Structure 1
């Protein structure tokens, strides 16, 4: 048997109308003339529901108002009863529709145009005030009863506006959390419970406001001060969580002010309400701006992280290509060695008295050049034995020792936890720093320290100390050392070091020593392993 779509839609509309009518009874009981949260409930419902359910809301409101009209008909007459049948939500629907549909109240599904929301709230508060005054004008008043419409209108506008600020912003906070949970109720409940805003709003703000309420109830002399101080949590939450914090703090602060109200029309409470309404409105605007700035900052950080990740992947790809090229050169070197001995063996059969020492030296020289080229592309010791062996026993250490420079390397920390790209970056930075230090021909001793740590992100600090020893300095073979260092590095010097440090989210510092200079380079391990 096929289901009937119209039956399900009818049931949903009836359920919405009944729920709305029941909620009206509750919010009407909680509302007072200068804190009309019923208006906030009307606006929240119109903002949160789809247009197709608005007729059901009107029906639910009419059902509720019909009971009041029938009950009060003998006292207030037919005209008042007929006008009272029109639910207040009907007066708000055109304004809310304009703001939702035309004036970009929700520019995105999870965003709120806060200036538009406050303007809509003011207009709705004004309309609600006019509707109330209009009903009063239609109500038969006792003889001699004088009503000051200016004073009543001001209180009603304040009460409607504060009622909206109490209910509507916090309802939009829950709406945003529901959108973040992708419409799943279980995830939404988890998001609400685990949210830092909810934790701070309940565990920190509520006790603070409860203390102010207790203080005002037990000492009437400080009650007004306590009421005025209710806006402080609003500011604190707004600065921490943007407009959502202002909404949460404003709701709690409004309830706390009402809890301290000694009389139904207390002048001090009206002053506190005015202050809290101004504070909530201001903090909603400021909080919305803070939220925009936070999103821009997060977007900037995300773009920076993506740029770093792209640069690191490019570095890794370049090093991988150089490693493949170095391996190919090693194979060519071995092939040249095999071809040389085969050719030399055949020449000995054809000409036994041939002098092969010159050919042998030339072949060894060719092999040595190929080895140096391959090692400069990607160090053999780094490929086979790791970074520590490459620094202490590799080609760079041997080159410095053969030239007469004293070289010592000290490595401490969990270096094995770092990616291969970081190992290669450390080796390249040390090579560039040594080449730059030797280019001025005024040093004789080089000390390299590598320190690693795991606080937060994996980090490594490379320190290269270049010092001059007057005894060793005259004996260094610069003419042989400098060309070999230039062939094994990029030749860019400090610029290469700074660029590589920036690629790995680090920085470069330099300071002079008594007989030399010190270069300190800090690098961060990539958050993702090498692909």
Structure 2
């Protein structure tokens, strides 16, 4: 049977009012003078419910007050029963409405301000104390019974404040966590189960409280110390997880103190309640600042990852453009080679032999420069032999060996798991490192090692070791080698090496050797999270 929207709204309001009334009956069973958690329940309901449901809450509270007034009418009389009919939540509604309308609790959509909650808690606790004292004025007392307000007022203030701080912050934490689900409850449950807040609450805070509580139950003299020690997990979780940790630990600490209470009016318990109430309020404020620092740090990490990903995409885009330019230049070189071959075949009969050889040498030098330039843009050997062949048999290795520098290369590990752009970045880092070392003209041996890791996070480590032998240095052709190396590298030295490595979340470390130096470069797979 289908119902209209108005009937559906009435059903929802009635269900909410009935649920609220039933909860009040249950909570009132564990509420006493210096632990009035029903006040915290009232505030939590007003914070979480929309304005249109407030009348249902008031009617639910009225239903409970009618039952209490009827039940206590023979004992307290008609005046008290009539005054008692006004539900307590109705007194708090204007205060909570003012806090919500002025943005002291919810400044923006989806945000929450802990300072406003603490301030609202103090105001509501004060109002609850005033309401109770007002009802006491109309409560018939036994003959010759003098009410000691110096004891009643502090207990009421402490009970209402601790009751609010026990329930309201934790209710807001649970509401915020539930709002993060956005309908994906299965994934949300897994996320909450894997959260560090839940882990440290279950496996750190609760065991510590159980241990402290067990010690307090075993020895009556140590019970007051155990009750006061309940605030330590509040400080720990607040510093670790902000105000959410302080809220959850505060609820546990408050419950722990009540469980250790030997009698209802135990003075040591009252002292512990004062300490815990101050600790909860203070740690909520400190925790909000800590949470702000955590959000700022997380935002910085997100910005850093975004900037790093953008830099890596720009590197890939630049390599793609250089590859296209290198292919075009290689085609131009091949066309130039064909053209010169036809030209020399036509004019070689009209030129002297010496002049013909000179022109051919110039043509070969021009073709070699074009090949070197295209290989500097994009190593053509990479397409056929990958990273190992590009490093071991590429232009860099050939030029070093042609100049008289001994070159060794060792590549190990699954290089294919890393993207091509990272292969090219590693090759350019090797070229930069070798060029930077050769600029001092004291290198006769070059050793390059490349290690591709298999454990997460996936890393590629480069080792470039250069050694100078005095006898061999005199036979190295620096005049031809240095211009070629400058073309293969950026020419900016160590700064370029560090910047290029940082693009892949890498680091550099240099170690001097007796006759040279060793440079180690570590790169991280772009698909892995930051270390």
Q: Structure 1 residues 164 and 425, CA, compared in 2 at 3 Å: closer, same or farther?
A: same
Deviations 1:103-130 (A, max 9, x none): 4312344432111111100110000000
2:291 aligned partner: 291
By how many angstroms is 1:194 displaced?
4.5
2:479 alignment counterpart: 479
Aligned match of 2:66: 66
Deviations 1:291-340 (A, max 9, x none): 11111001001111111111111111111111111111111122222333
Q: How does 1:487-506 map to 2 (within 5 A)?
A: 487-506=487-506
SS at structure 2 position matched to 1:380:
coil
TM-score (norm 2): 0.94
1:325 aligns with 2:335: no
CA pair 2-412 structure 1, distance change in 2 beyond 3 A: closer
Range 74-83 or range 317-326, more displaced:
74-83
RMSD (Å) for aligned C-alpha atoms: 2.2
Q: Quick one: structure 1 residues 310 and 184, their matched pair in 2 at CA, closer, same or farther if it must change by over 3 Å?
A: closer
Please say if residues 457 and 527 of structure 1, whose CA atoms lie closer than 8 Å, have aligned partners that are also in contact.
Answer: no
Q: Which residue of 1 aligns with 2:456?
A: 456
Measured in 2, the distance between the counterparts of 1:242 and 1:61 equals 34
What is the aligned partner in structure 2 of residue 44 from structure 1?
44
1:413 shift after superposition? 2.6
2:375 is aligned to 375
Q: 1:267 is matched with which residue?
A: 267
SS of corresponding position for 2:146 = coil
CA distance in 2, matches of 1:202, 1:189: 16
The answer on 1:389 being equivalent to 2:389 is yes
- How far residue 144 of structure 1 moved from its aligned partner, in angstroms, is 1.3
Report the equivalent of 1:107.
107
User: Which sections of structure 2, spanning at least 5 residues, go unmatched?
Assistant: none
CA separation of 1:26/1:192 partners in 2, compared to 1, >3 Å: closer, same or farther? Answer: farther
1:101–1:504: structure 2 CA closer, same or farther, 3 Å change rule? same
Q: Secondary structure at the match of 1:475?
A: coil
Whole-angstrom distance in 2 between the partners of 1:476 and 1:353? 36
Deviation at 1:191, TM superposition (A): 4.9
In 2, Cα distance between equivalents of 1:46 and 1:191: 28
Deviation at 1:4, TM superposition (A): 1.6
Residues of 1 paired with 2:3 and 2:268: CA distance? 60
1:239 pairs with 2:239? yes
The separation in 2 between residues aligned to 1:187 and 1:400, in whole angstroms, is 57
- Where does structure 1 lack aligned partners over 5 or more consecutive residues? none
CA distance in 1, matches of 2:318, 2:415: 22
Q: CA deviation at 1:280?
A: 1.2
Aligned residue for 2:469?
A: 469
Quick one: distance in 1 between partners of 2:195 and 2:465? Answer: 50
How high is the TM-score relative to the length of structure 1? Answer: 0.94
Corresponding residue of 1:26: 26
Question: Could you tell me whether the CA contact under 8 Å between 2:457 and 2:528 is conserved in 1?
Answer: no
Contact 1:110 1:180 in 2 (8 A): no
Spell out the pairing of 1:291-440 with structure 2 (5 A cutoff).
Answer: 291-344=291-344, 357=357, 360-440=360-440
The residue aligned with 1:442 is 442
SS across alignment from 2:222 = helix
Indicate the SS of the match to 1:315: helix
- Tell me how far 1:288 sits from its aligned partner: 1.4
- 1:362 Cα deviation (Å)? 4.1
Shift of 1:2: 7.2
Alpha carbons of structure 1 residues 109 and 197: separation in structure 2 relative to 1, 3 Å: farther
160 and 370 in structure 1: CA distance in 2 versus 1, 3 angstrom threshold: same
Q: Deviation per CA, 1:117-162, whole angstroms, max 9, x where unpaired?
A: 1110011000000000100011111221111213211111100111
CA contact (8 A) 1:177 1:191 kept: no
Residue 194 to residue 412, structure 1, CA distance change in 2 (3 Å): closer
Determine helix, strand or coil for the equivalent of 1:480.
helix
Q: Is the 8 A contact 1:178 1:184 kept in 2?
A: no
Shift of 1:360: 4.1
Distance 2:156 2:407 in 1: 84
Contact 1:333 1:371 in 2 (8 A): yes
Q: Which moves more between the two structures, 170-179 or 72-81?
A: 72-81
